[in-house]
Chain A
């Protein structure tokens, strides 16, 4: 019988939550890397038992761990993330220029076809790649050095490259997003890049329609339609129908268009999910009600999904890498909170139940659908 495996990164370790296809009884394994921040872990689409994890600590830096048995055992891999050449400077909070400094890996994106190839999005923003299963990492410097780097600046969480989308139809096409620089696209496997932020409007930067400087929180695509992108920006939910060349707002009737996560239903490319958060200064749901909003029309028309979610006194946040969908039918949707809950829905979001309630603050959720 098919099943699912949730890979949950938290402020104090990683957890693996497993269930069969019914998704109503869960086994909890962990914490792995106890006491360390695990910003992200993800499995290879080409070999589901091959997992990669980003383990970091303010004291002891960055470690990369790899599992070849679905997360039962792990081995440390290479963790030297060294910028190519002289790193240069980016804009600092006070407007001055500040040297690029590696801090941590935010996101790991395994290749769609090669279990040994993985992309890593790091803070300060840059894209790295390994071709040897994580033993060594090389920067793809064309992104950081393409020209607009000195105008990138850190968001409140740091200047992080947090989103990496690999186009399944066009293998050399990669989308990435940086807070706070914006979205970028490569057509040559990461060698060269161009900003794709036309149509974004950000009141908090001197030129609200600037080429770069936008605080993009997350981008999502459906693998059957990779030219259509959905974006949760700092404020505004956006959509592009031309692979990022232009964007239009689809916030519609959302109670607030601030938020972090966005994801797409596994079988319905126009069904998308967000979790509205009150504001950038109040990182919790409006009215103390934790609501996932679903649009079945690709945006603009949203419905609140509340069944099984707390509808009073709830003041958690849902961070940008903390939502995922499985590919079972009906589609499962999952998200984690800074309060340590991981919620799951086995019916496309109609109803929810907590899988776990008391983990450390959740930094990321990924899901693997297993045969």
Chain B
């Protein structure tokens, strides 16, 4: 399956990509497997979305898809069907913080 992932500006710059990225993902498609596939494809993103070692989501990074906030879901949470089909992107977002 082809998964679409939308990255925030700073992570697109790090990964040297424009627009969304597409990932090949074997089922079952979960939040954790999608993030792992993203980091395998773009190693520079390791540590920028999840902490090294613990793989805990960084505090000011959020995961959205299909108008749902998946940020607090566990890594083995299945992704929404529309994301698995490639109709909707998994959005990785830098949280609004500050003023």
Footprint of B on A, CB under 8 Å?
Answer: 34-36, 57-63, 76, 79-82
Which residues 1-31 in B have Cβ within 8 Å of A in the complex? 8-11, 13-14
Query: Given A36-B10, A76-B14, A76-B44, A60–B53 Cβ distance below 8 Å?
Result: no
Q: Smallest CB-CB separation from A58: which chain B residue?
A: B60
Main secondary structure of the interface of A (DSSP, over half): loop
Does B47 touch A at the CB level, under 8 Å? yes
Q: Which of B48, B49, B51, B95 is within 8 Å of A63, CB to CB?
A: B48
Main secondary structure of the interface of B (DSSP, over half): loop
Give Cα A76 to B48, complex, Å. 12
Query: Given A36-B10, A80-B52, A80-B53, A62–B47 Cβ distance below 8 Å?
Result: yes
Q: Which of B13, B44, B47, B97 is within 8 Å of A59, CB to CB?
A: B97
Footprint of A on B, CB under 8 Å?
Answer: 8-11, 13-14, 44, 46-49, 51-53, 58, 60-61, 94-95, 97
Give Cα A34 to B14, complex, Å. 11
Are A35 and B47 in contact, CB atoms less than 8 angstroms apart? no
Set of chain A residues within 8 Å of B46, measured between Cβ atoms? 79-80
Set of chain A residues within 8 Å of B61, measured between Cβ atoms? 59-60
> Can you list 26 A-B contacts (CB < 8 A)?
A34-B13, A35-B10, A36-B10, A57-B10, A59-B60, A59-B61, A59-B94, A59-B95, A59-B97, A60-B10, A60-B48, A60-B49, A60-B61, A60-B94, A61-B47, A61-B48, A61-B51, A61-B58, A62-B47, A63-B47, A79-B46, A79-B52, A80-B47, A80-B53, A81-B52, A82-B52
Are B44 and A60 in contact, CB atoms less than 8 angstroms apart? no
Give Cα A80 to B55, complex, Å. 12
Q: How far is the CB of A128 from chain B (nearest CB, A)?
A: 13
7 tightest Cβ-Cβ pairs between the two chains A and B: A60-B48, A80-B52, A59-B60, A59-B94, A76-B44, A61-B47, A79-B47
Set of chain A residues within 8 Å of B48, measured between Cβ atoms? 60-61, 63
Are A63 and B58 in contact, CB atoms less than 8 angstroms apart? no
Give Cα A81 to B51, complex, Å. 10
Set of chain A residues within 8 Å of B58, measured between Cβ atoms? 59-61
Set of chain A residues within 8 Å of B94, measured between Cβ atoms? 59-60
Q: Could you say which of A35, A60, A63, A82 has the most chain B C-beta atoms within 10 Å of its C-beta?
A: A60
Set of chain A residues within 8 Å of B11, measured between Cβ atoms? 60
Q: How far is the CB of A11 from chain B (nearest CB, A)?
A: 12
Give Cα A34 to B13, complex, Å. 9
Are A82 and B53 in contact, CB atoms less than 8 angstroms apart? yes
Give Cα A58 to B52, complex, Å. 15
Give Cα A102 to B99, complex, Å. 25
Q: Smallest CB-CB separation from B61: which chain A residue?
A: A59
Give Cα A60 to B42, complex, Å. 14
Q: Smallest CB-CB separation from B50: which chain A residue?
A: A61
Set of chain B residues within 8 Å of A63, measured between Cβ atoms? 14, 44, 47-48
Q: Smallest CB-CB separation from B95: which chain A residue?
A: A59
Give Cα A61 to B10, complex, Å. 11
Set of chain B residues within 8 Å of A59, measured between Cβ atoms? 8, 10, 58, 60-61, 94-95, 97
